[in-house]
Amino acid sequence: MAPAPLATLPALPLHTAGKYVAGAYIVLFALVLVYVSIMAIRMSRIERELGELLDVQAARERADEHTLDQREATPAYPVKGRP
C-alpha cells in the first residue's frame, strides 16, 4: 500500500523545509516568466505577419480596382472612329 512508506518518512523541520519551499516557488515563477515571454514573442510575430498580410491584401484590392477601372474604360465592342 502507498500510505505505509510515506508514514515512515520523517517530516522535515520547518526551519529546514523553508529553503526548499522558497526554491520551488522561485523555480515555478521562473518557468511562468519564461512561458509568458515566449508567448509574447510569438504574439508579436503573429501581429507583424498579420499586418504584412493585410498590406498585401490592400495592395491586391487596389490593383483589382485599377484593372476594373481600365476594363470599364475600354468598350466591349468597337466604336466608330476609335481603334
The model's pLDDT over 50-76, given as tens digits with 9 standing for 90+, comes to 999 999 999 998 888 877 666 666 666
Q: Supply 49's cell numbers.
A: 505577419
Q: Are 62 and 69 in contact (CB under 8 A)?
A: no
Q: What is the per-residue pLDDT for 53? A: 94
Q: Are 38 and 46 in contact (CB under 8 A)?
A: no
Q: For residues 81 and 49, what is the distance between their CA atoms, to the nearest angstrom? A: 51
In single-letter form, the type of residue at position 72 comes to E
Residue 46 has pLDDT above 80, yes or no: yes
Could you give the 3-state DSSP secondary structure of residue 27?
helix
Say what the alpha-carbon torsion angle 17, 22, 26, 27 is, to the nearest 10 degrees. 10
Q: For residues 26 and 16, what is the distance between their CA atoms, to the nearest angstrom? A: 17
